Amino acid sequence: MRLFHVSETPNITVFKPRKPKRNDLVNETGLVWALSERTFVNFFTPRDCPRVTYHVAPHTHCADKKNHLSAPDIEHVMVIEHAWVQKMQAVTLYVYEFDPKPFVLQDEQAGYYVSKETVQPLACYVIQDVWHALASFNVEVRLVENLWPICRTIQASSFYWSMCRMANAQPACKNPDT
């Protein structure tokens, strides 16, 4: 198993546990967050970029694959808003790889792992072209004006999914059917 952290910050030599800011987590214990090899591509965007990502899970229905994947060889999709295209083109990302030993699974679907220990990266990989990087991992990128319709649709599907930075998305459409 390989674990990663994706950042816009270069030259991080140590990751110290920080208390989570998410309301759905107990914030008394500091954690270092890492991503599985299956899901780290969900973070190949600028940090604040709102996105809906989804990929085939062991239990994904054939109908969902047919309705939400563009081709049989596509198993992972990232949906972003048009407004983020230029920022995607300009961002440089740093992918830090960790020793998985101090980490425990926090969320299977999202591929999140956490450690209560300070960790040092084993390696750092630089991504200067996120479009190329996403294509090299066979991630289909879709551009939409508004993320909320696809967000609701994918949450009701049988895919593994992740919705990140949705507070930065365009406001929800007034008519949910459009």
Would you place residue 178 in the very low, low, confident or very high pLDDT band (cuts 50, 70, 90)? Answer: very low
Please report, for residues 15, 93, 101, 116, 139, the alpha-carbon distance to residue 133 in angstroms, rounded to integers and kept in the order given: 24, 10, 27, 30, 9
pLDDT tens digits, residue range 9-38? 999 999 999 987 766 666 678 999 999 999
DSSP letters of 23-87?
TTS--SS-BEEEEETTTGGGG-S-TT--EEEEE--TT--HHHHHHH-SSTT--EEEEEEGGGHHH
Would you place residue 83 in the very low, low, confident or very high pLDDT band (cuts 50, 70, 90)? Answer: very high
Using the predicted structure, report yes or no on whether residue 177 has a pLDDT greater than 60.
no
pLDDT tens digits, residue range 51-69? 999 999 999 999 999 999 9
Q: Both tokens of residue 64?
A: 């969902």
Specify whether the CB–CB gap between 81 and 46 falls below 8 A: no
Residue from 107, 127, 113 nearest 6 by CA:
127
pLDDT tens digits, residue range 109-155? 999 999 999 999 999 999 999 999 999 999 999 999 999 999 999 99
Q: What is the pLDDT of residue 18?
A: 92
Specify whether the CB–CB gap between 158 and 59 falls below 8 A: yes
How far is 148 from 176, CA to CA, in rounded Å? 8
